Amino acid sequence: MFFASWRQFQFYENTPIRDPLLGSDSPLYSDPTLSAASPINKNRFALAVRSNHLKIINLSESKVEHEFQAFEDSFQITHIETVNQGFLLAVGEALGKPSLIKIYKLDKLPNNPKSYHSVIEVRNGNNTFPISVVATSKDLSCIAVGFVSGKIILIRGDLLRDRGSRQRIIYEDVGKEPVTSLEFNLDASVCFAATTTRIMMFNTTGRNRGQPDLILDSQHGLSLNCSCFSPYNNEYICSVEGSIDFYMDGGEKKSLVTELSGVKRIYPVDEDHILVVVEAEYAKSAVLEVEEFSQSNSNRVIILDLKNQVVSLNVFIASAIIDVFSVTQDKKEIVLLLTSEGVIVKITEKSLEEQLDIVIQKELFPFALELAKQHSLEPLKIQNIHRKYGDWLYKKGSRTEAVEQYVECLDVVESSEIISKFGINESPDPRGLGNLANYLWSLIKENRSHSDHVTLLLIALVKLKAENEINYFIQHFTRSGEFSQELISQDMDDESFFYSDKNLFDLDLVLGLLQDSKFEQLAYHLACKFAKDPAVIVEILLNTLDDPHGAIRYIRSLSIDETLRVLVTYSKQLLEKCPNDTNILLIDVFTGKFKRTDYNVDLKEPEHPHDDFTTVFYSYKTFLRYINNVTGGEDEAEVKGSMAPTYHPPRASLIFNAFISKPFEFVVFLEACLESYQRYEGSKEDKQVILTTLYDLYLTLANEDVPERQEDWRSRAAKVHNESEKLVTINENATSRTTQSNKPIDNSLMMLISHMNQIDIHSPGEGSTAELDKGARASLVNTFRSMILTNDPPKCMEYLEKHERQEPYLYCVALKYFISSKEVLQKIGGETVLKNKVLTKIIEKELMSVVELIGLLGSTDVATYGLVQDILIKHVRQEQDQISRNKKLISSYEAELESKKRELEELLHSDEPLQVNIKNKTCFMCHTALELPIVFFKCRHIYHQRCLNEEESAKEGRRLFRCPRCMAELETSEKIFQTQQEMSKKTDLLKIALDNGDDSEDRFKIVTEFIGRGGLEYSHVTLE
C-alpha cells in the first residue's frame, strides 16, 4: 500500500464506545446536531448541540451534567475548546453579525446566554465570511482567528481575568485563499499559519504590517485539519502532497516522504508517534457498492512510529471522523476519535510485553531488543530476549552469532546449558571444550567477562592440560579484572587489591583443580597474584609444596595484622616442621620487633636455614646465643634487641595453644615475652598471664623433665612467683595513689597451681613490726585469701598473728573464714579462741561496729549467742550512757536558743518606742558628754553624729551608719553567710571529701560538717 520499507505492527488497540443513550431523547455524543466537542478530562466532555447549546456529559456515569444555551438563536457554535483545565472557550457565528468568543468557568457554568466569564467580539467588517480555524494559547493570552476570506486576526489580552483585549489583523491573503491552519508554539511567541496555497510563520509579539515574518512553503498549502502542533517536540507538523513536514519555531524544516494520499487529519500522539487519518481506498468491486459504506465516509487510521520507522497501527473506520483529541489516563495518553455515527473510538497503546510478543512472534529479534532498550525494560527481561535470539540462531546453525547473544544473557541462561551446547556433557568433547575456551577467551580479551566466565575458562584450560595458556592468563589478566595484550609489568598493589570489591573468579575452585591435576607451581603463582587472603598462599607453601621455610619468608613479608592472623592458624604446623625458625618469628611478632621484609615470588632454597632439629633450647638466653651465632654477630642482635617496638605487641595468650607438645619452645617464647614486658613496661594484666603460664610450665617440667634439670625448673618457678608478688604490690601502690579504679592484678591462680604441685609458698618466718604502705598491706590480704583456698585454719591463724600489727584488716577477713563452717572453727580452738584472739581484737581496734559484727556472725549458723553476750551487754550500756549525755546537751542547747530568740525579738520589735537614757552617758567614740544630734544603735552603743562616718548616701531620705564597735562582728557574720551560700552550690565538694577520705574516717562526720557549713541552706535573709 505505502511505506513499502516500513514494517507494520498492531501496537495499539482500538475500542469503539457507543453512546449508552443512543436513540433516546437526550443522547450523550450521538446527537445528530453535534457541531463541536472538546474533552475536559478522561470522563467529562463538552459538546455543542442544537446550533447554540452547550452541554457537559459524564461518560463514567452516562449522564448529562449540565446543559444551557450559550448564544442567541441566530448564532451557530462552530468551535469549542477546553483551556487551562478550568475554562471553556466557545466560538459562535451569525450571518451579518460579528462573531463572538465566549469564555466560561467550568465550575460556574451559566444557564442563559447572557452569563459568561468574558466575551470577545471579533471585528471583521460586516462578517460576510465564516471562520475557518481558531487557535488559542494555553494561558488564553493569545487567540488567532482565521477566515475563509484569507484574513487572520490576532487577539491579545488577559482574557482569564477579563481585563480586556486588543485585536489586529496580522495577515490578509491577496487571493482570498481560505485560512486552513493556525497553531501557536508552546510560549505563544510564534503562530504558524497556512492557506490552501502557502505555509507561513508570524511573530505574535511585534508588528508585521499584515505580512508573515517567514514563508515556510510558498509552493504548497494545506487542507483543513491536515496540520497540528506537537507540544512534545515543539514542532509544527503538516501533511503536504505525499510527505509530512516538521517545522521548528525558528523555521527549521525536516521532511518524511510518505506517499500518502487523501490525508484528512493529522494529530500528535506523543514525541515519537503521529496519527494520520486518510481516506480509505476501495477495490473496484460491486460487492462494496452499498450506500451505507460510502467511500467519502470511510477512513483508515494510521499511527506512524517516527523513531523506529514502523507503522504501529493501521485500522479501518467505516464512518466519518468529526474530531480527534487525547486525554490522560494512568499517566498514558489515550487518543479518542469522535465519529459521525455516535461512536467514540478509543485508541490505547498496548503494553510493552504485548508489543514485544508481537515482534518476537515475527522473529524480528533485533527490533525487539531495540524496542526494549528504548522503554528501559528490566535487564533480566532484555536478557530473556537475547536468550530467545540466541536459541533461534543456534537452531539455524549460526553458532558464532548465537554465542554473541548468550554473552548478553548470562543472568538468565544456565551455564550447564551453554556447556552442553558446546559439547561439555558426561563425556566431554575436546573439540567442543576448545570452542568453549575460545568463546571464553574472546569475552575476556574484550573485557566483557565476569567471574563465572573466568572461572569456566580456567576450568576448561585445566581439563585441556593447557599449561602455557594458564601461564598466559596469569601474565596478562590484571587484578582489576581487565585483560592486557602486553605483558603486565605494573599491577594493582596489594592493599588496593585487598580492599577492591570485585570478584575476579572462584579462586578456591581453580586452585583445587590445579592441585588435583598436579599443577602445584601454577597454583602457587595463581594464588600469589590473585589471593587476597595470605592464608591461601601459606596453605599452598606449607601443605602442597611442603616448603615451611618459604612459608615463613612469605609470612615475614606481610603486615603485622596479617602476620598475626596467619600465625594463629598455622603456627602449630610450623612449629612441628621447623620449630626454631618459627619460634624466632613468633618472638619477633609478640615482642614488637617484627619488621616486614621483601619476598621473591620465585621459589628458591633458603641460603642459611636456622633450624637444626637436633638442637633443643631450655632458656631464651641460650636460644638467643644460638641465633646470634647463626645470623653472624652479637652486636647486631643486641642492637635489634634494644630497639623499642614500632607497634603495640599482641597478647601472647593468642598463640599459647600452638605450643601443645612443645614445652621447651614454649619456655623460650614465654621468657622472651616476659623480658620484653619488663623492658618496655607492657600491660600488667598480660604480664601476669605470662607469669602464671610460665610458673605452671616450670612446675610441670620440674615434675616431668629429667632429674638433672628439675631443680633448675623449681628455682625458676620461685623467681617467677616473686616477680608476680612484686607486680601485685606495685599495682596496689599505683591504685592507692590515683582516684581512677584500675583493674587489680590477681595472682591467686598461682597459689592454686602451687597447691596442686604441693609447694608451700606461705611458710611463716619471724614476725615483722615494720609499718607497710597501702599496697603492701593489700598484698598481705591477698596472700591471706589465697591461704584460705588451701583450707588450713591453723596456718591461717598463725599467719594472722604474725601480720596483724601490719594489717589489722586481716581480722575481718579471718573472721569470715573462721565462722564459715563448724569444722574450721573447731580447728582453730573453738569459740573461746575465736573470742579472745579475733572478736576482742576487732572491738578494741574498732575495725567493725557491733551491728556489723552481729550481722556477720548471724550470716552463718556456726556462732552461738554466748559468743557475743558480753559484747552486746557492754555495747548497750555504752549506748545508754551516750543517750543520757546527749539529752542533757540538747536541753542546754534549747535553753540557750530560747534566750537568743528573746534577745533577737527585743531588738527587731519596732512597734514599741525605745527609751534611751542619755543622762550621765558619754560618747563611745570620743568619751565626752553627749550632745545632740546623737545616733543610738540597738546594740546599746551611742555616739555623737559628728563622730560617725556616713556609710552611704541618703537612702529613702535617711542616712545610714554602722556601729564602729560591732562593725567587725557584723562583717564577720556577713562573710559567714556568704560562705554558706556558696557552699550550698558546691555539692561536688562533698563527693570529693567522701572519695578522698580514708576508710577509718567517720563518713557521717564529713556529711554533718558539710551541712554545718551551709551545704543544705536554701533560705535567704537580708542583713542591714
- Residue 685 CA to residue 731 CA, distance in Å, equals 10
Q: Which residue has the cell 570489591?
A: 501
Q: What percent of the chain has pLDDT over 90?
A: 30
Least confident residue range of 698-702, 816-820, 994-998: 994-998
- For the record, the C-alpha cell of 248 comes out as 521548528
- For the record, the C-alpha cell of 491 comes out as 599491577
- Residue 640 CA to residue 401 CA, distance in Å, equals 67
User: Per-residue pLDDT tens for 754-784?
Assistant: 777 766 554 444 444 445 555 566 667 777 7
- Contact yes or no for 347/12 (Cβ under 8 A): yes
- Residue 30 CA to residue 20 CA, distance in Å, equals 9
Strand 321-329 relative to strand 179-184: parallel, antiparallel, unpaired?
unpaired
**pLDDT tier, 155 (very low <50, low <70, confident <90, very high otherwise):** very high
Q: Which residues 6+ apart lie within 8 Å of 477 measured at CB? A: 444, 454, 483, 484, 504
- Residue 881 CA to residue 891 CA, distance in Å, equals 16
User: Per-residue pLDDT tens for 171-183?
Assistant: 999 889 999 999 9
- For the record, the C-alpha cell of 812 comes out as 575481718
User: Per-residue pLDDT tens for 384-394?
Assistant: 999 999 889 88
- Contact yes or no for 789/761 (Cβ under 8 A): no
> Which one-letter DSSP state was computed for residue 928?
S
Rounded to a whole number, what is the distance in angstroms from the first to the last CA of the chain? Answer: 118
Residue environment code for 686-711, b if the CB has 16+ CB neighbours within 10 A, otherwise e = bbbbbbbbbbbbbbebbeebeeeeee
pLDDT exceeds cutoff 70 at 1000: no
Q: Which residues 6+ apart lie within 8 Å of 523 measured at CB? A: 511, 514, 515, 540, 544
- For the record, the C-alpha cell of 391 comes out as 536459541
- Residue 241 CA to residue 333 CA, distance in Å, equals 29
Instruction: Kindly state the average pLDDT of the residues 329-345.
Output: 88
**pLDDT tier, 742 (very low <50, low <70, confident <90, very high otherwise):** low
State the average pLDDT for the chain. 82
Residue 687 has phi, psi (to 5 degrees) of -65, -40
- Contact yes or no for 112/72 (Cβ under 8 A): no
Q: Which residue has the cell 488564553?
A: 140
Strand 76-83 relative to strand 87-94: parallel, antiparallel, unpaired?
antiparallel
The DSSP line for 573-603 is HHHHH-HHHHHHHHHHHHTT--------SS-
- Residue 774 CA to residue 994 CA, distance in Å, equals 18
Query: How many CB atoms lie under 10 A from the CB of residue 495?
Result: 9
- Residue 124 CA to residue 140 CA, distance in Å, equals 20
- Contact yes or no for 153/167 (Cβ under 8 A): yes
**pLDDT tier, 224 (very low <50, low <70, confident <90, very high otherwise):** very high
Query: How many CB atoms lie under 10 A from the CB of residue 447?
Result: 11
- Contact yes or no for 120/143 (Cβ under 8 A): yes
Q: Rounded to the nearest 10 degrees, how much is the dihedral formed by the CA atoms of 121, 126, 129, 130?
A: 30
- For the record, the C-alpha cell of 125 comes out as 467588517
Instruction: Kindly state the average pLDDT of the residues 960-979.
Output: 81
- For the record, the C-alpha cell of 995 comes out as 572519695
Closest CA to 728 of 707, 750, 761: 750
Instruction: Kindly state the average pLDDT of the residues 920-938.
Output: 83
For residue 808, CA distances in Å to 804, 811, 820, 841, 844 come to 5, 6, 20, 9, 11
- Contact yes or no for 202/193 (Cβ under 8 A): yes
Q: What angle do CA 552, 662, 692 make, to 5 degrees?
A: 110
User: Per-residue pLDDT tens for 634-674?
Assistant: 444 444 445 667 788 888 888 889 998 889 998 999 989 88
Q: What percent of the chain has pLDDT over 70?
A: 86
- For the record, the C-alpha cell of 1008 comes out as 554533718
Amino acid 91: pLDDT: 95
Closest CA to 568 of 586, 542, 593: 586
- Contact yes or no for 543/491 (Cβ under 8 A): no
Residue environment code for 31-50, b if the CB has 16+ CB neighbours within 10 A, otherwise e = beebbbbbbbeeebbbbbbe
- For the record, the C-alpha cell of 5 comes out as 520499507
- Contact yes or no for 555/541 (Cβ under 8 A): no
pLDDT exceeds cutoff 80 at 438: no
Helix or strand or coil: residue 143?
strand
pLDDT, greater one: 844 or 145: 145
For residue 850, CA distances in Å to 428, 675, 833, 876 come to 95, 51, 19, 10
**pLDDT tier, 733 (very low <50, low <70, confident <90, very high otherwise):** low
- Contact yes or no for 320/332 (Cβ under 8 A): no
- Contact yes or no for 201/247 (Cβ under 8 A): yes
pLDDT exceeds cutoff 80 at 860: yes
- Residue 300 CA to residue 840 CA, distance in Å, equals 123
Alpha helices in 846-911 (DSSP H): 850-857, 869-908
- Residue 865 CA to residue 7 CA, distance in Å, equals 115
R_g of the chain, CA atoms, integer Å? 55
Strand 227-230 relative to strand 214-217: parallel, antiparallel, unpaired?
unpaired
Helix or strand or coil: residue 628?
helix
**pLDDT tier, 937 (very low <50, low <70, confident <90, very high otherwise):** confident
- Residue 599 CA to residue 578 CA, distance in Å, equals 19
- For the record, the C-alpha cell of 16 comes out as 469503539
- Contact yes or no for 39/336 (Cβ under 8 A): yes
User: Per-residue pLDDT tens for 418-434?
Assistant: 767 775 544 455 666 77
Amino acid 958: pLDDT: 62
Amino acid 11: pLDDT: 92
**pLDDT tier, 1022 (very low <50, low <70, confident <90, very high otherwise):** very low
Amino acid 651: pLDDT: 87
Helix or strand or coil: residue 161?
coil
- Residue 149 CA to residue 540 CA, distance in Å, equals 97
pLDDT exceeds cutoff 70 at 909: no
> Sheet holding 179-184: strands in order across?
179-184, 190-195, 199-203, 214-217
Q: Is the dihedral of CA 114, 116, 122, 127 positive or negative?
A: negative
Amino acid 751: pLDDT: 72
- Residue 577 CA to residue 541 CA, distance in Å, equals 12
pLDDT exceeds cutoff 80 at 140: yes
- Residue 785 CA to residue 1005 CA, distance in Å, equals 32
Q: Which residues 6+ apart lie within 8 Å of 994 measured at CB? A: 1003, 1006, 1007
For residue 305, CA distances in Å to 257, 312, 692, 707 come to 14, 6, 87, 102
Amino acid 159: pLDDT: 84
- Give the DSSP H/E element, type plus range, for residue 459: helix 451-463
Residue 38 has phi, psi (to 5 degrees) of -155, 135
- Residue 270 CA to residue 307 CA, distance in Å, equals 11
- For the record, the C-alpha cell of 517 comes out as 591435576
Amino acid 775: pLDDT: 55
**pLDDT tier, 949 (very low <50, low <70, confident <90, very high otherwise):** confident
